[in-house]
């Protein structure tokens, strides 16, 4: 069990690594490209360099030394990396009929730091999951787990034995049975967040290739896209500039954060039909990074002086706002509103909550979950899910532990493990959403790749929808969203809409 000092040291190291990534990734990947002559390989080498730094967190205590460590790693074994570059170029040429030539021959290459950071988070998550599994699961345990019977991917509750990997599974038959639940495949790439109601959905996405080798530090540009769910068509697109936005929707209103501070207005309300700004909210705070809507109230997580995050409750009609309690130490990575409380993930590591009306912290869950629930306090960034549905907050921690927390009191009412919803320990269940009385996992393992529906009451699988493996390229797909009546999965090229009513059961 980690002590408080060690947890703080890890958090500080991860914050340093994140700053180094956003400040120096473009330069390091461009330098790696100059050495190896292959853009994809240069990106992979740079991500691996940051992963090695993350595994050796103690180096982050000295940022200049950590930067030197990063800059040295892509240059190791130049002969081997050049041979790998030639091999990968040959494979692409064999499959596409042409090679991926260097930028000098094909034009300017792009450096999308925001997208690379998401890929690094996924890489970190998988690395931590592999280490945990190697430490906690032996060969005999795997064989025993494979023999457990569960109602996997069926519309009824008849038990079905999961075969060992040597047994062929009729995955195409599973796809045929459940693919009718996919009601739309929209050509929208770069999706980073979304919100919606029963009639419309709004997406924030990266809409351009932001930077070149000559100008590696330029951020991407972003776009707001509105989708009519009755026809599954795009209603409008609005340019948002070079800053990512958080989005929330509820009670017929749509809200976006801005890159501004108090003077410019940190939050805007837009006309759902046109995307035009109709209201600005000015808070006594810095920039806001997270939004959530519940029970007629908007909640925002905004930077606070000197080093923390304030949780604000906003009345949508008037724009009047109140700070809930004292600022949270550190940054807030996720914000989830419930009818009587608002919950957050602080620094990717701990879960906390605060009541809406008193502003008092909900102490039981932070103390219990962080101090006593195995895995949640040391989960890799990006590997914790925090969602709300039907009176409960769900927190997905390390080693595939899932905690059901009473949203109003903070009491942990039930704990599920992989034995409930992933008995074969086969999938990479690191991402989830919730809605309609169900949990929706994004699975990326054997024998199924796609969206897995799980009962909130029993933790047992109850149907799913297959998503083609490698839909997000060399990285696993890591985002899943729920809006009323729809489950959404962004891939590298598409935004897939699933209608839960078309799943059996």
23 domain residue, yes or no: yes
Answer for the pair 454, 461: CB distance below 8 angstroms, yes or no. yes
Domain C-terminal end among 37, 71, 94: 94
Q: Does one domain contain both 90 and 201? A: no
The structure's pTM equals: 0.66
d(CA 69, CA 56): 10
Q: pLDDT by residue for the chain (505 residues), tens digit each?
A: 445 566 667 777 888 888 888 888 888 888 787 777 777 788 888 888 888 888 887 788 778 778 877 876 544 444 444 444 444 444 334 433 333 333 333 334 667 888 888 888 878 877 776 655 444 443 333 222 222 222 222 232 233 333 333 333 334 434 444 778 999 999 999 899 999 999 999 999 987 654 445 555 456 889 999 999 999 999 999 999 988 899 999 999 999 999 998 999 999 999 999 999 999 999 999 999 999 999 899 999 999 887 789 999 999 888 899 999 888 888 888 899 999 899 998 876 678 889 888 888 885 444 434 323 333 333 333 345 889 998 999 988 777 788 899 998 888 889 998 888 877 766 667 788 999 999 999 886 655 688 989 999 998 888 889 888 778 876 778 889 999 999 999 998 999 999 999 987 7
What is the full DSSP assignment across 204-245?
EEE-S---BSSSTTPPP-EEEEEEETTTTEEEEEEEEESS--
Nearest Cα residue to 254 out of 235, 230, 231, 232: 235
- Which tokens in the block code for residue 60? 């982050």
Please give the DSSP secondary-structure letter assigned to residue 61. G
Instruction: Note whether 82 and 206 are same-domain residues.
Output: no
Do 202 and 322 belong together in one domain? yes
Q: Which of 126, 151, 121, 190 is nearest to 381 (CA)?
A: 121
Domain presence at residue 486: no
Six-digit token pair at 340? 């009587």
CA-based nearest residue to 80, from 51, 41, 50, 53: 41
462-486 in b/e burial notation, b at 16+ Cβ within 10 A? bbbbbbeeebbeebbbbbbbbbebb
Residue 450's DSSP bridge partners are 443, 466
The residue behind tokens 């703080």 is 8
> In sequence order, what DSSP letters do the residues of 74-96 get, joined into one string?
GGSSHHHHHHHHHHHHHHHHHHH
Q: Is residue 353 part of a domain?
A: no
Q: For CA atoms 56, 61, 62, 64, give the dihedral sign.
A: positive
Residue 444 inside a domain? The answer is no
| CB 443 within 8 Å of CB 427 | yes
Please give the tally of structural domains in the chain. Answer: 2
In whole angstroms, how far apart are CA 175 and each of 91, 169, 450? Answer: 29, 12, 10
Of 430, 458, 426, 434, residue with least CA distance to 442: 430
Give the domain CATH number at 210.
2.130.10.120
Q: Which residue in 458, 492, 463 sits closest to 475, CA to CA?
A: 492
Which of 51, 74, 94 represents a domain boundary (last residue)? 94
Containing domain of residue 34, as a range? 4-94
**Phi and psi torsions of 396, nearest 5°:** -100, 115
- Count of other CB atoms within 10 angstroms of residue 152: 23
Dmax over CA atoms of the chain, in Å, equals: 65
Whether residue 148 lies inside any domain: the answer is no
Query: In angstroms, rounded to a whole number, what is the distance separating the alpha carbons of residues 393 and 343?
Result: 8
Q: Which two tokens stand for residue 493?
A: 């090229």
Select from 318, 292, 297 the least CA-distant residue to 195: 292
Distance CA(472)–CA(113), nearest Å, equals 17
Domain contains 204:
yes
Question: DSSP state, 283?
Answer: -
> Is the previous residue joined to 187 through a cis bond, with omega within 30 degrees of 0?
no
- Answer yes or no: is 59 within a domain: yes
Any idea what DSSP says for residue 361?
B
For residue 247, tell me if it sits in a domain: yes
State the first-to-last Cα distance of the chain, in angstroms, to the nearest integer. Answer: 41
């Amino acid at each position: 069990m980690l002590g408080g000092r060690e947890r703080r040291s890890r958090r500080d190291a991860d914050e340093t690594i994140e700053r180094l990534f956003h400040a120096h990734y473009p330069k390091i990947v461009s330098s790696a490209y100059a050495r190896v002559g292959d853009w994809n390989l240069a990106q992979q080498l740079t991500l691996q360099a940051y992963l090695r730094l993350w595994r050796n967190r103690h180096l982050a205590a000295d940022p200049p030394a950590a930067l030197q460590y990063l800059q040295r790693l892509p240059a190791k074994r130049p002969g081997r990396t050049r041979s790998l570059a030639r091999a990968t170029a040959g494979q692409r040429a064999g499959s596409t009929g042409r090679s991926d030539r260097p930028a000098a021959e094909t034009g300017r290459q792009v450096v999308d730091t925001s997208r690379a950071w998401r890929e690094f988070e996924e890489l970190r998550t998988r690395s931590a999951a592999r280490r945990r599994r190697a430490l906690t699961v032996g060969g005999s345990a795997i064989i025993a787990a494979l023999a457990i019977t569960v109602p996997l991917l069926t519309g009824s509750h008849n038990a079905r034995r999961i075969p060992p990997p040597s047994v062929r599974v009729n995955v195409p038959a599973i796809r045929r049975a459940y693919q009718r639940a996919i009601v739309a495949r929209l050509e929208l790439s770069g999706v980073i967040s979304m919100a919606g109601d029963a009639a419309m959905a709004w997406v924030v996405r990266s809409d351009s290739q932001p930077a070149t080798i000559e100008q590696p530090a330029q951020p991407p540009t972003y776009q707001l896209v509105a989708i009519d769910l009755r026809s599954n068509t795009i209603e409008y697109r609005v340019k948002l500039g070079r800053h990512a936005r958080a989005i929330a929707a509820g009670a017929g209103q749509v809200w976006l954060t801005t890159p501004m501070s108090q003077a410019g207005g940190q939050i805007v309300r837009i006309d759902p039909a046109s995307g035009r700004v109709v209201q600005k909210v000015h808070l006594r705070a810095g920039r806001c990074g997270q939004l959530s809507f519940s029970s007629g109230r908007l909640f925002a997580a905004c930077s606070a002086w000197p080093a923390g995050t304030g949780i604000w409750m906003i009345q949508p009609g008037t724009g009047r706002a109140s700070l809930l309690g004292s600022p949270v130490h550190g940054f807030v990575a996720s914000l989830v509103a419930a009818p009587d409380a608002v919950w957050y993930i602080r620094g990717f590591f701990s879960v906390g909550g605060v009541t809406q009306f008193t502003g008092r912290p909900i102490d039981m869950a932070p103390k219990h979950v962080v101090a006593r629930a195995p895995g949640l306090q040391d989960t890799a960034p990006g590997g914790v899910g925090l969602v709300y549905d039907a009176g409960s907050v769900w927190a997905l921690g390390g080693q595939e532990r899932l905690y059901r927390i009473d949203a109003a009191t903070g009491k942990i009412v039930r704990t599920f493990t992989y034995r409930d919803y992933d008995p074969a320990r086969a999938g990479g269940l690191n991402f989830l959403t919730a809605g309609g009385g169900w949990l929706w996992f994004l699975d990326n393992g054997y024998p199924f790749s796609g969206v897995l529906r799980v009962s909130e009451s029993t933790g047992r699988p109850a149907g799913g929808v297959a998503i083609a493996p490698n839909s997000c390229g060399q990285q696993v797909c890591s985002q899943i969203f729920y809006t009323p009546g729809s489950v959404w999965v962004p891939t590298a090229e598409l935004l897939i809409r699933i209608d839960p009513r078309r799943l059996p059961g």
